[in-house]
Amino acid sequence: MARDLLESGIPPIWIGGEISNLTLASSGHAYFSLKDGGAQVRCVMFRHKVSALPFRPKEGMQVELRGQVTLYEARGDFQINVGEMRSAGLGRLFEAFERLKAKLQAEGLFDTGRKRELPSHPAAIGIVTSPAAAALRDVASTLRRRMPGIPLILYPAQVQGEGSAQQIARAIQQAGERREVDVLIVCRGGGSIEDLWSFNEEIVARAMAACPIPTVSGVGHETDFTICDFVADRRAPTPTAAAELVSPNREHLAIQLEQTRRALERALSRLLTDKAQQLDFLGRRLVHPGLKLQAQRERLDALSRRLSQRVNGAFEQSRWRLQLAGSKLSRHQPDLARLAQAMQQRQARLERAKDRLLERRQQQLAQLSATLAAFNPEAVLARGYAIVQKQDGQAVKNPAELRNHEKVTLRLAEGSTEARIEHPQGAQPELPF
């Protein structure tokens, strides 16, 4: 009951003091007292928490810890179950971290709207780190594995210790001024908060914010966070992950290329099949000019026969009328001499009408023949013209249909020949495929 009251009534708290009476048990648990000038309290830190510490607790060490107030019921001891521990000096660093983070966030340096997209296929990649850093080897080996053809440019800088923040900021500014890379990685390996503190300095944050090149922060391990992570366009949990973010995977690209090639091959095969069927269909519809001329000649012969029949019919009808008039004349015994003269005159008019009708029909026939001859392609070719045909046999109607250096066939009156299209300088450009 007392333990439940303590744990439910007092939330986890931060306290500071000196480690005393430290015992590191074989089980991995740590037992100690935390004391200051006026009091002390018993503490326990279990193995999985101790193993996660970036340092080894020592007797007399000044620390700050966060834990749950509880009661060890077996002995009735009041104690703190420790969940987190840090060196006493880290409290000031965390306060400085939070103050700078709040300041830059208020200025908008962390806004997602100012984050830039990373290039999918960078021509060159820049790295800001120490030449001796293991992070550089990790990044370089990852990039060689994923895309060895991308050149790497190192902008060296000390990444730990006094003056390192200024060197990192100058290296970022130099990369932005030289503009010889498409993306910039700022990285180093893991370490304590003091080791990574250069990347929490305001000068480095502002240099990254002002950099005209997209930036990736790969500082420390996955659980480490720095101000650079919030300012950068992308944050990577490790330097290796940063290299994977900025580089395409050549194996994936090869797979995509093969898939694209196969898709293109299938599409081209379907296109060729469709065009072959279309060509067969058009070929069946295509009629040779000679056959068209033969059909027009037959139609002209039919029209001539119909014209002759109509003329003969009109002549026979007039003859029949003449005979009918003669029989009427003979029945009524007319004036034969006068009627004979009238008949001769009518016959003369009939002959003239027949001649005029025949002449008109012949003129119409001549006009039709001339029109037919005018539309005869062979006659046009005989006057010196030529038909320009593409390689597929299609006649060209517009120069825009021709590409520069394209081969064509010139069909003439007495044969054909090959030619190549040469557009003059400044003339119509080649059409795209």
Bridging pattern class, strands 407-412 and 387-389: antiparallel
Spatial neighbors of 232 by CB under 8 A, at least 6 apart, are 186, 208, 215, 216, 217
**What mean pLDDT, rounded, does the chain reach?**
85
More confident residue, 5 or 64: 64
Q: CATH for 2-88?
A: 2.40.50.140
Per DSSP, the three-state class of 373 is helix
Per DSSP, the three-state class of 153 is strand
Contact 20, 60 (CB under 8 A): yes
Q: Say whether pLDDT at 427 is over 60.
A: no
**Which residues, in sequence order, are bridge partners of residue 32?**
43
What DSSP character marks residue 124? -
Contact 307, 362 (CB under 8 A): no
Q: Which long-range contacts (CB under 8 A, 24 or more apart) does 95-99 make?
A: 96/200, 97/200, 97/227
> pLDDT tens digits for 42-72?
999 999 999 888 788 888 788 889 999 888 8
pLDDT of residue 433: 41
> pLDDT tens digits for 343-377?
888 888 888 888 889 888 889 988 888 887 777 77
More confident residue, 331 or 275: 275
Span 21-30, mean pLDDT?
90
Contact 199, 219 (CB under 8 A): yes
Span 281-290, mean pLDDT?
76
Per DSSP, the three-state class of 43 is strand
> pLDDT tens digits for 87-104?
776 556 777 888 899 999
**Nearest CA-CA partner of 353 in 314, 327, 325:** 314
Span 181-203, mean pLDDT?
88
State the number of CA atoms in the 13 A half-sphere of 203 facing the CB. 12
Please state the pTM of the whole predicted model: 0.47
With cut-offs at 50, 70 and 90, classify the pLDDT of residue 407: confident
Span 256-265, mean pLDDT?
88
More confident residue, 280 or 241: 241
Q: Say whether pLDDT at 194 is over 80.
A: no
Alpha-carbon distance of 133 to 167, in angstroms, equals 15
Alpha-carbon distance of 412 to 398, in angstroms, equals 19
Per DSSP, the three-state class of 207 is helix
Instruction: Report the C-alpha dihedral over residues 208, 211, 212, 217, rounded to 10 degrees.
Output: -30
Q: Say whether pLDDT at 124 is over 50.
A: yes
Q: Say whether pLDDT at 431 is over 50.
A: no
Span 188-193, mean pLDDT?
80
Which residue spans within 220-304 are E strands per DSSP? Answer: 234-235
pLDDT of residue 90: 58
Alpha-carbon distance of 302 to 102, in angstroms, equals 102
Tell me which CATH homologous superfamily contains domain 116-250.
Answer: Dehydroquinase, class II (3.40.50.9100)
